[in-house]
Chains A and B, each alone.
Chain A
């Protein structure tokens, strides 16, 4: 049992440790080669418990969904070591296995032990989204995948670096399985830079404060997070709150899939039971258990913002997910479109919590990433691939209307400027605008979604992986639902829409053709009749509501 730690040292160590994680994030953003890390910040770093892998310390900027998932990644390595043995100082493990603590194949984890005096003290880890790791579709978002093998190469936890020595064979295998090996190599080095830096900083901190004091601080942080989460749960009325929502389809069969939650609040603890959710899907919208728990964590952090991001906050919560189901998928179920499923899962938690306490409720965010890939050949014969995610509105809430044109709750990614896109690719944006009437009405309405209209200047092929084409983002506490996601394309005066509503694969578009994406706003909060008449008049005047 580590010694009890004084409150001042605790407060100081909290800031110092978070700063180390922040600095690791910043190092990777700056040195990464691919824009999904550099601009969209699809990465995360932290320190993890030696025996359980539980999150000890987390930076302020880590990609929210990764923050929740990292503990499972470290646990996967711990289990591997338990079987193989032979853990040594200077080891670094690498893997992307979605079923063993990963999310989807593009997300590469590096996990390194921190040794002190010959014994394992804790783990330090990094995750980042690599651009391409093989599979049928560049970038990995293959809406037609029915097996993981069509999405890319899967690496279980392996020792990339053994006692300080890089295993070149693994690098060669990775390089041979990507369309962009240089980009991946650059990102891997960025992640190693981040780990090196974090290890150096953390060991200096241990030298300064003493191992026992830092270990005691870790215990105190977790206890504190647990206490804060219990206090938050205690403030909710006891009861069982049910909520469910759907996904349009899995891209293969046009049937709705259900995500259902039975939330039980009992004193200062809770159970999140997803047993009533759909069975595993044929198409790529499954998620593994670890991803499901990570998504729960993201939802809870967005609602209980004062609870720190470490493992202690999950202690009062029990999760029930059916093994092998949509939310507990096993290999080789395809998972590339995992973002859509976790967005719906997060919304379902918002919905159930809204039933428990409307005064703290947040209506549904727009709920789809709309991963659009456009590609073709320039006049000089060179190939171009433009890959983007798009924004929408956040939900109304007790304090404010929802934010218009925001990023998704699972990410903090910004969208590239259209001037950068037009300079880089033969595309012309003809519209980039807020989408009137796209938000759910309410006392506080949702934020507005957007309209993006793009003309391609060469022949092109396009794929889209989206959602919310059939059932719109819901309102809470009497607020109304937002508008549906809508995707169309026009050629020679003919307008088409996807047979799978929000998903298409590899459709041809001639030069001069146009595609149009209209994204949902957020749901509304509270009864629209109670909306401030001044705010309603403003909505009319500014054309938010036509």
Chain B
């Protein structure tokens, strides 16, 4: 590999996947090594060495779940919080919600304990005026007390700081003189947006992650330096763009969905190149099925996500809907005689019954094994030598077939059908429920398990096709390599549209854009161009929800050229699209300005991944085995998927096997290999 090589590294729970692309020789390599849970840096560096000397690599882009895991497992740093007198409990009071609609049990423990949240005299009003100037002696005392009580990171959050950050900035400067680490920030640096709980939560979680993610990146930096690496090292953000490691240390909360976002980016790019701009990506893992909508080649961004009850992260993220249905999801029959699959999961340890690691209850994977859809002799991933079909059958017989009074094979098929229905529900949620016609969309399964169910989803939801990427298991690593560089800025402005001071708005837009541009430019990765995108959150005065309004302007030499008329037209178009009816006569308001700078990376030619010339269908054939479809065994052709040539057409039923995924082509469907090596599954003509 030459210095022009770029490596994408996706560290998952079980495996670390790597994709290495050499821009000089236009060649690629992939690698898979075991992840080292708890010390992910070891697997990361081991993986890189699969491509030779790390010193020879040009750039590394990393999708990480270190931040996600620290949040989910509550293993972040000890955080101190300094806030306005009267408001130290904002974090713990949330938005006065509860975990479940039905059932009143359960409690909430915030990431910052109450005795680590201290108040100081200061008050800023909603219009930005300062009612009480911050008492800096009180700030210093509070910071010292928190340090003495073991704080490793500090968050400063003042009420209404989105409107005027002066008090927060003054407090930050005072803290900077005495805080021993770089792990401190104020809320107006992290999220200058109205809504104190969401801003407090995001700022506190950022502080919670700073030492964890900082240490992790530090360890990777050290390891890379020891191996003589001198290139650029970047991190994928939840918004699907990449950022520098410096930015990741400062804003680790933006890595909360780093790994999954990279997968969606790659799946969208692959599908777009294959002629499917409208797709629904589906990542079937051990415990969950994550779906994301891609329209016109573009991923959808959500403004915030809830990591767990009360843990809100408000920063743009690729919108991913998750349901508790994965390979490890347990099938059971409840007291009302209804078959359920998930959300309870056997996970990867002990895992499905067929793993023989002590779980006696049947899972979705067990059903796939019993039905012959998964090859028990060659489990994907290569961790186990073989799967125990008999254990899977026994688990299904005992826990599903007997209570329902049906045969074992019927029970196994029922488990797969119920799981398919749940996945189909998740797809409907992001498509039909958002007003999109599913017949226009293709499903793009990635990860290890999705391709087992892609055909069924095609039929269940009425999708146009399913597209299985050539290397489903390394989709996220590939996404790291092709992701754009991106930086998002947000600023609440609270401006009335009528009589808008367009010059003032323009000045703020220019300011925000320049900041974002500078960050993207300094990332140091090659880009074709940098786009600046402006969006406004707007509503009619009196409404609480806002609509996202894309402004058809960009940053030019003389500013953005924004006018009241441009904003009004854009708002009305966006409102009409969402709600079909405008409210003439009711004044409109601009709540928040969102600015993104996106450094477009050079196009990656996915044809590189295509099968070599000289492949034939005959050579790819691996004989037959019986597979259960629609109530009966079918003698089913088996193929080595990676050996199939471009243009190959395979009629279902068929099973296409490769080391990291199994694609099931059900009866009535057919599969073909496109010019990029993707499998396209469609209904038989």
Contact = CB atoms under 8 A, between A and B. Distances in A.
Bind each other: yes
Contacts of B195: 417, 419-420
Given A15-B421, A415-B96, A423 B340 contact: no
B428 A19 contact: yes
Interface string B318-351: 0000000000000001111111100000000000
Interface stretch (A47-55, A79-87, A114-122, A403-411): A403-411
B104 interface: yes
Interface string A5-33: 00110111011100100010010001101
A422 B160 contact: yes
Interface string B478-494: 00000000000000001
B414 interface: yes
B180 interface: no
A189 B580 CA distance: 11
B497 to A, nearest CB: 16
* A413, A416, A418: most-surrounded residue (chain B CB, <10 A): A418
* A15, A189, A403, A429: most-surrounded residue (chain B CB, <10 A): A403
B545 A38 contact: yes
Nearest to A363: B104
The secondary structure that dominates the A interface is mixed
Contacts of B96: 390-391, 405-407, 413-415
* B97, B99, B115, B131: most-surrounded residue (chain A CB, <10 A): B97
A354 to B, nearest CB: 13
A423 to B, nearest CB: 4
A307 to B, nearest CB: 8
* B93, B94, B113, B494: most-surrounded residue (chain A CB, <10 A): B93
Contacts of B101: 60-61, 64, 412
A400 B106 contact: yes
Nearest to A432: B87
B334 A11 contact: no
A302 B103 contact: yes
Contact of A397 (B93, B104, B194, B425): B104
B417 A8 contact: yes
B114 A543 contact: yes
Contacts of B335: 227-228, 231, 306
A400 B107 contact: yes
Interface in A107-155: none
Interface string A376-416: 00000000000000110011011111111111010011111
A351 B542 CA distance: 41
Nearest to A9: B417
A502 to B, nearest CB: 19
B544 interface: yes
A35 B539 CA distance: 13
A527 to B, nearest CB: 19
Nearest to A400: B107
A404 B93 CA distance: 7
B86 A430 contact: yes
B88 interface: yes
B104 A19 contact: no
B196 A419 contact: yes
A434 B98 contact: no
A249 interface: no
A405 B93 contact: yes
Interface string B542-586: 111100000000000000000000000000000000111101001
Contacts of B337: 7, 224, 227
B339 A11 contact: yes
Contacts of B333: 7
A7 B98 contact: no
Interface in B490-516: 494
A416 to B, nearest CB: 7
B579 A419 contact: no
A541 B432 CA distance: 51
Contacts of B19: none
B95 interface: yes
Interface string B137-177: 00000000000000000000001101000000000000000
A161 to B, nearest CB: 17
B603 interface: no
Contacts of B113: 542
* A60, A362, A419: most-surrounded residue (chain B CB, <10 A): A419
B604 interface: no
Contacts of A64: 101-102
Interface string B416-440: 0110011001001100110000000
A302 to B, nearest CB: 5
Contacts of A189: 581
Interface in A136-194: 182-183, 186, 189, 193
Contact of B97 (A26, A407, A543): A407
A334 interface: no
Contacts of B102: 64, 301-302, 305, 309
Contacts of A225: 336
B115 A35 contact: no
Contacts of A412: 97-98, 101
B339 to A, nearest CB: 5
A490 to B, nearest CB: 15
B580 to A, nearest CB: 8
A506 interface: no
B579 A11 contact: no
A35 B545 CA distance: 8
B583 A182 contact: yes
A428 interface: yes
A390 B93 CA distance: 11
A431 interface: yes
B169 to A, nearest CB: 18
Given A433-B89, A541-B115, A8 B414 contact: yes
Interface string A418-447: 111011000011111110000000000001
B178 interface: no
A394 B104 contact: yes
B97 A406 contact: yes
Interface string B394-407: 00000000001010
Contact of B578 (A30, A60, A432): A30
A285 interface: no
A65 B98 CA distance: 16
A453 interface: yes
A466 interface: no
* A398, A405, A415: most-surrounded residue (chain B CB, <10 A): A405
B104 A433 contact: no
A362 to B, nearest CB: 5
Interface in A62-105: 64
A39 interface: yes
A11 B421 contact: yes
A473 interface: no
Contacts of A413: 96
Given A228-B335, A231-B335, A394-B98, A432 B106 contact: no
Interface string B73-89: 00000000000001111
Contacts of A453: 86
A400 B131 CA distance: 41
A418 B583 contact: no
B86 A404 contact: no
B90 interface: yes
A417 B197 contact: yes
Interface string B102-125: 111111100001110000000001
B389 to A, nearest CB: 22
Contacts of A15: 421-422, 425
Given A407-B96, A434-B93, 18 more contacts: A8-B414, A15-B422, A16-B425, A19-B425, A19-B428, A26-B433, A30-B545, A31-B579, A183-B542, A186-B581, A227-B336, A365-B104, A390-B96, A404-B107, A407-B98, A412-B98, A414-B96, A447-B107
6 contacts: A302-B102, A403-B99, A404-B107, A405-B89, A412-B98, A434-B89
Name the 6 nearest CB pairs between A and B, nearest first: A224-B336, A391-B96, A542-B114, A414-B95, A415-B96, A305-B103
